[in-house]
Amino acid sequence: MVLYPVIRRLRNKRVVLASASPRRQEILSTAGLRFEVVPSRFKEKLNKASFPTPYAYAIETAKQKALDVARRMHQGEWKREGETEKRRCERERDIDRLPPARAPTRAREEPATEKDLRAPDIVIGADTIVTLQGLILEKPVDKQDAYSMLSRLNGKEHSVFTGVTIIQCSCRDSRLDMEISEFHEETLVKFSQLSEELLWDYIHSGEPMDKAGGYGIQALGGMLVEYVHGDFLNVVGFPLNHFCKKLAELYLTRPNEDLPPAEHDSIPAVDTFENLSDAEGRGQGGAQGQADRPRALGRKNSVPSRMVDSLPPTPLLELLDGFKASKALFTACKMKVFDLLQDEAPLGAAEIAQRIEASEGGTGRLLDVCAALGLLEKTDRGYSNTELASLYLPSGGKYSLHPLIVYQDEHTWDFFTDLESAVREGTSRHRGAQGRTVDSLFQDRFYQSQDRKLQFLRAMHSLSKLTARQVATAFDLSRFTSACDLGGCTGTLAHELARAYPGLKVTVFDLPEVLEDVSGFQPDRARAPRVSFVPGDFFQDSLPEADLYILSRILRDWPDDKAHALLSRISGSCKPGGCLLVAETVLDEQKRAARPGLLQSLDLLVQSWGRERSLGEYGRLLQAHGFEIVGAARTGTIVDVILATRTTP
């Protein structure tokens, strides 16, 4: 079985599926996973418009489903309240329809025992949605709604997303601690061009009524589908292949325990600083990437010649060309290719070349490279933005990374040409010139001119928009009434905190030269009355009073002596019982996860005196100033979040 190595690790674990879907139960049972079924009661009424992507909505829904079940089981409510006879019979009937060999483990019906009432070890939540051109099509409410959905899909290609959440639970002093892992899977499905009569025949069968998008591909709905690109089981309701890989990351590839999990009911407590595992470093630099590396074969020159065939240098060649891919992205953004195709598409190479005032031959090569990198779609009619490019690359988009890309191209790129000297000397030549101090260089780095300052502010603003919501909600901060975001720049995180916690007033404290230009970055609506901006230098000026202080991507910019100086000032302003929220990329203790943390540490080597740190290093840094870490959580973005409380007067 695919999951067998993981199953041995889960043999004594209590695994719970937070879904009544017989399709998900069948898929997991077929894989050999033993689990209980406890349907979630979470009302799926999240505001879809508040999510940057459809899959973000699916992931959040899956997470809320799993959280609901984890909390109820921890409290023992699920067994005490029981099910109505009607619901139990319906569930039994659904299960009995499955082939006997594939029937999932049923939720127990015996009286509750001590084991029944203990918290689960693992809770799995999932949510599947169908999207067409960014519009989410969930389950139809009636036959007319089903017809409307199927008519929209008729003859078109659409995406099916499943968001999956895996919650690893543990109890500590009767409190529930949860470590959350999330992922999503996308599958492309193309409907044939179908007659209205055929659509209505399918609707009258009754099958569309409990299916996302109004069809079930595993049954009669399969006759509507012309082709599927991707994981078929994902369309059925659960991406088994991706799930298996995720479990392997969590239970097989990591050498030791992850960082202390975040508790979502209250602020968690931890006794030790655990290692921040690289299991979350997914994709190229994560656990799977580590598993794909060849093992050491002994002495340097002892590799048999036959290994050249079994260990081709493809990953090395891809790394060798990595800078070319980055420069292609930078150039296409700078020449506004994605802006042009956002408004008019598809367009041929000749038309694009004319519009961006470039050669046709050179433009064609650049466009083909962007298509190969997954940034553009190329058809006989011309080039169009992919969904990823449409969301993040046009300069005017809500979540545009265009300002950050331009900044990387015009400034960071040049710094990296000095990497060798920075490694040899421990400092960049740019930084070592003319005997500059840390303080003066840090300010010169961004504020040499008004144009450069604005470029930097735009880059940081675009990056903050991608992480602010996850940072603001990584822990339950509703008990705080005042917060101070030190170095909060344009206030993106402050506004997100104010939206998430109606009782919280947030002060952004940053240099006067920064705040004089932040008005252009505020929300279109009137500035939130609970967000204010106060000019000052956090190394020199008095800090605003607050229950909660925030450092988001600040400590990374400073060496230890400056970090200690800043934390000392915060400690002096923070009353016992107050807290400090730190948002940074946290390295695993062995420093093996290549992305994003270690690559960013090189960025800091060539551009400043700062560095990325591990959770243990942050723990020791904070503890020196009377702060004790009470929780640490991954957000699924480029930053992790640490919550520390002021314990000593």
**Are 207 and 215 a contacting pair, CB within 8 Å?**
yes
Q: Which residues contact 135 (CB under 8 A, 6 or more apart)?
A: 152
Residue 243 sits at φ, ψ, to 5 deg, of: -60, -45
SS3 sequence of 429-487: HHHHHHHCCHHHHHHHHHHCCHHHHHHHHHHHHHHHHHHHHHHHHCCCCCCCCEEEEEC
**Are 556 and 610 a contacting pair, CB within 8 Å?**
yes
Which amino acid is it at 15? V
Residue 172 sits at φ, ψ, to 5 deg, of: -140, 110
Which amino acid is it at 181? S
**Are 343 and 390 a contacting pair, CB within 8 Å?**
no
**What does each C-alpha distance from 225 to 25, 127, 435, 482, 622 come to in angstroms?**
24, 21, 68, 54, 57
Q: Which two tokens stand for residue 272?
A: 């030790």
Closest CA to 639 of 572, 564, 584, 577: 584
Any idea how long the chain is? 649
Closest CA to 570 of 480, 484, 489, 442: 484
Neighbours of 648 (CB within 10 A): 10
Residue 541 sits at φ, ψ, to 5 deg, of: -90, 160
CA distance 45 to 61: 9
**What does each C-alpha distance from 490 to 284, 305, 638 come to in angstroms?**
32, 57, 19
Burial of 623 (0-12, 13-18, 19+ CB in 10 A): middle
Give the DSSP per-residue string, 133-160: TTEEE---SSHHHHHHHHHHHTT-EEEE
Rg (CA), the chain: 27
The percent helix, strand, coil of the chain (3-state, each to 5) is 45, 15, 35
- β-pairing verdict for 579-584 and 548-552: parallel
Closest CA to 224 of 130, 126, 97: 130
**Are 33 and 276 a contacting pair, CB within 8 Å?**
no
CA distance 377 to 371: 6
CA distance 32 to 43: 30
Q: Report, as residue numbers or ranges, the catalytic residues.
A: 127
Q: Which residues contact 304 (CB under 8 A, 6 or more apart)?
A: none
Closest CA to 219 of 411, 390, 26, 69: 26
Classify each residue of 305-327 as buried b or exposed e, where b means 16 or more C-beta atoms within 10 Å of its C-beta. Answer: eeeeeeeeeeeeeeeeeeeeeee
**Are 70 and 123 a contacting pair, CB within 8 Å?**
yes
Enter the DSSP assignment of 17. E
